Amino acid sequence: MAANLCRKGTRVIVYDVNPDPVRDLATLGAAASTGVSDVAGRSDILFTMLPDSAIVERVISGADGVLAHAKRGSVVVDMSTIDPRVTDRLAEAAMAKGIGFVDAPVGRLASHAERGESLFMVGAAPDVFDRVKPLLEMMGTTIHHCGGVGTGMRTKLVNNFLAIVSCEMNAEAIALSQRFGLSLEKTLDVIHGTTATNGQLKLAWATKVLKGDTEPGFTIDLAHKDLSLIVEAANAEKVPVPIAAVAREAYSAARSQGYGGKDFSAMVDVLCETASIRKPRF
C-alpha cells in the first residue's frame, strides 16, 4: 500500500522495525526514517499497520510514540485489526492532543493490496474522512465510511468472523470430500453452483492452497489473533459466539502443529495430515 502511494506521486516517509521493506520503498522514492517519533513529527497524515493491539497502543500512545510527537491538527490512520476498545482509547487520547484519529482496517487479499485494489472500512468524523479519502483512493478501489471512530474496526471484526470461520468450514468439507474419494473439480463445480459457495473457497482457495501455495497472504497466526479479538469483543457486548470460539481452537491446533506462519487456507492441509487424507490439489 505504501508502494502505491509512492507510485502515485505522494511524498511518503516510512519506518519499520524490519529494514527490508524500508529499503524496497526507498527505491520507489520514499524517504527512510529513523523511527516512530521522526515519522510522526514530519507527517500531516500518518498511517500505522501493525500486528496486534498491544503493539498499536505502544506505538501510538506510548511514552515515545506517535501522539507524543505528532503535530497538532495532524491525523493518525490506524489500518491494523485490533480490539475496538483500544481504538476507542487511542481516539480519545488523540482528540485530547488536537489530533484526528481514523480506524481504517483493510479487506481483500494481499494481491489486491499490491495492485491498489484494497477495500477499506473507515471509522472517522466526516471532515477527517474527507482529508484521508484521497490517499485511501490511491491504495484501494472500495472505501466504506462506516460511521464515527471505531465503526471501521467493528465492521472488520464482523467481516473477518465470516471469512475466517468459513475457511475452517471449507477445510472440513473439502477434507471430507477427499476422504469420500470425490473429484475435487466436480465437487467444486457443484458447490459453486449452489448457495453453499463462499468467497474464500471460490476466490482465495483457487489461487492458494488448492494450487499448492500456502505461503501467507494472511497467516493462520493472524486468523487466530482475529478470532480471539472477535470472541473477546463479543463477550464484552454479551453476545454468545460459540462457532467463533470452536473455530479459534481449530486454528490453535493448527498453530501447535507448526502451521502458524502458513496461509489460513492451509487449514485444509492441517486436517488432511491429521486424518491421513491426500491433500486436495488441482
Q: Grid cell 465470516 — which residue?
A: 162
Which of the residues are catalytic? 156
What's the N-to-C CA distance of the chain in angstroms?
A: 31
Backbone angle region of 31, left / alpha / beta, with phi > 0 → left and psi within -120 to 50 → alpha: beta
The residues pairing with 122 across neighbouring beta strands, listed in sequence order, are: 145
In eight-state DSSP terms, residue 263 is B
Dihedral of CA atoms 148, 153, 156, 161 in degrees, nearest 10, equals -130
Q: To which H or E segment does residue 165 belong?
A: helix 151-179
Q: Amino acid identity of 230?
A: I
Q: Amino acid identity of 137?
A: E
- Write the burial class of residue 185 (CB in 10 Å: 0-12 exposed, 13-18 middle, 19+ buried): exposed
Supply 234's cell numbers: 463479543
Quickly list DSSP for 228-247.
HHHHHHHHHTT---HHHHHH
Supply 2's cell numbers: 505504501
Check if the beta carbon of residue 15 is closer than 8 Å to that of residue 39.
Answer: yes
